[in-house]
Amino acid sequence: MQRIYLVVLSLFVFQLRAYAQPKWELNTFGGFSNYLGDLVDTPFPYANTMMPAFGIGVGFLPKPSFAFEFNASMVNFTGDDQNIGGKIFSRRSFSFTSRAVELSINTRWEPLGAQRYQQYGNFSGMISPYVYVGAGILFVDAAPDFSQSKSDNYFEGINEDMKNNAPTTAFAIPVGGGLRFDFRENFAIDLRLGVRAAFTDYLDGISFAGNPEANDWYMTGGLNFVFRLGDKDTDKDGIKDREDLCPRVAGVISAKGCPDADGDGLEDLEDLCPYKAGVMELNGCPDRDGDKIPDAEDDCPGIAGSPTAGGCPDLDGDGIQDALDWCPGEAGGKLLNGCPDCDHDGVINWYDKCPEVPGSPLYAGCPLELYDRDYDGFANDIDECPDLAGTAAGCPDADADGVADSLDKCPDAPGETGSLGCPVITKNELTTLEIATKAIKFETGSAVLIQESISNLQQIIPIFMKYPNYNIEIRGHTDDVGEETRNQKLSEKRAAACYQFLMDNGIAPSRMKYVGLGEAEPIADNRYLQGRKLNRRVEFVLHQFYSGIETH
């Protein structure tokens, strides 16, 4: 048995030398083992049958929370029927001692294992639970003692067990768990407890004389001392010194072990922007829009642009940002806000009326002779009379009313544009007309003007003479007293009397016409005296014959 244990120990030492890598750990175990079999009649082992146990092992961690354990353990068992008590077991009086070597391969799952190394690989000690399960081979050397038995009932079973009393090899399934206490990065202690289902009934050397229908079990528990194996890490940043560019200053993996405050993978000493994550090409400075211009130097840090335009978009590549470029689709000069000037006269092409001939900004980029050939101040392209100097859209305007002579119906009298250059009667003059015409009266029942009416007509003749562009319609009206036919004729005669008076006083007959409307268009109620008085009237309606405007 001792030889077997020495061979196993030598194999583990060889593996330790061959595979001492950062993901490996060395375990040494010290504790107790206990037995549950033919000499135990309870579901749990007896406390007074605990025996010393120890072992060594190697662990491999492919992932922080998962490990394979290769263990070799020396365990001891003992049992005695006297521990059970009772007449039957006192007479049977079996006892035993056993030694065993267990070689096992376990898988260990530690749920919190990944938290041991925090962000940037820095170690953080913790208390972490784990569970394990595996498979093993058990080499058992049992020494049963039947000499104290006082009963002949077990004679045949004892003889059978004595025949089989030889070192036994059996398969075992370890299952258990523990708590790992980290004391340092490379050292921890486990509080460990587990049970083994042994596929043999000879852990105690007793089977046929006991209970041959059930295999034996055993358990182990104690302290497991864990030594994590890895390269030296002077600054304790989780990066091996041989891979650490800053082995004496704690750093991060992304910066190969050097400090990197902004986490951009470039160590702080080489990082021009050590507190803002950036890109390698710009010495660690940020470039949000990816245009290879650092944000601190980029006038448009959120939009990719051109280096010649301060990092802002420049569609035409003239070095002027599109937002400031008056001609973003055409390359131009800075003095002209990014617009082209083909003839180099200081006037941008789209404003230059002569883009291929140098000119003056005063003449839209043209020489004066090409800009205004009649020299009247109106450019040729807007001059309606480009060969005749004038003030009305470039055309002559004798009365200076803003209407060209060719369109002015009153070329010698200043007027208004809306009346084709003719004057428009004023409000005061209209008021005079209204007052005068309301006072025109006739002899009762006749068309003879009274003297007062003649004076009123003489007041409005100068107004008609002043505005030759107005035609005059004279409308006669009566009340409804008398026959309608007679009233109709009377209204015509009265309108004709006014027509004749105006003609006799210089108003051209071509400008006038008259009509009698009788009692057809009253403006008041004929039932009353005042109403009939208002209805007996003569109206003068002015027609501005060039514009079609009618004025009462």
Q: What is the DSSP string of 260-306?
A: -TT-SSS-TTT-SSTTS--BGGGTTB--TT-SSS-GGG-SSTTS--B
Topology of domain 2-229 in CATH is: Porin (2.40.160)
Q: How many CA atoms lie within 13 A of 152 on its CB side?
A: 0
Q: 182: part of which helix (H) or strand (E)?
A: strand 168-184
Given strand 512-516, what is the order of strands in its sheet?
A: 512-516, 470-477, 537-544, 549-551
The residues pairing with 145 across neighbouring beta strands, listed in sequence order, are: 95
Q: Identify the architecture of domain 427-551 in CATH.
A: 2-Layer Sandwich (3.30)
Please give the chain's pLDDT, 552 residues, in tens: 444 444 444 444 333 333 334 489 999 999 999 998 888 877 778 888 899 999 999 999 999 899 999 999 999 999 888 887 676 677 788 889 999 999 999 999 999 998 887 655 567 889 999 999 999 999 999 889 888 877 777 777 788 888 877 778 999 999 999 999 999 988 999 999 999 999 998 888 888 888 888 899 999 999 999 999 876 677 777 777 778 888 878 888 777 788 887 787 888 788 888 888 888 888 888 888 888 889 888 888 888 888 888 889 888 888 888 888 888 888 887 877 788 888 887 788 777 778 877 877 777 778 767 677 777 778 877 777 887 877 777 788 777 778 887 777 788 778 777 677 788 888 888 888 888 888 888 887 889 999 888 988 999 899 888 888 889 999 999 999 989 999 999 999 999 999 999 999 999 999 999 999 999 999 999 999 999 988 889 999 988 765 444 444
Domain extents for the chain? 2-229, 427-551
Report yes or no: 258 and 250 within 8 Å, Cβ to Cβ: no
What's this model's pTM, rounded to 2 decimal places? 0.43
The residues, ordered by sequence, that sit 6+ positions from 11 with a Cβ below 8 Å of its Cβ are 72
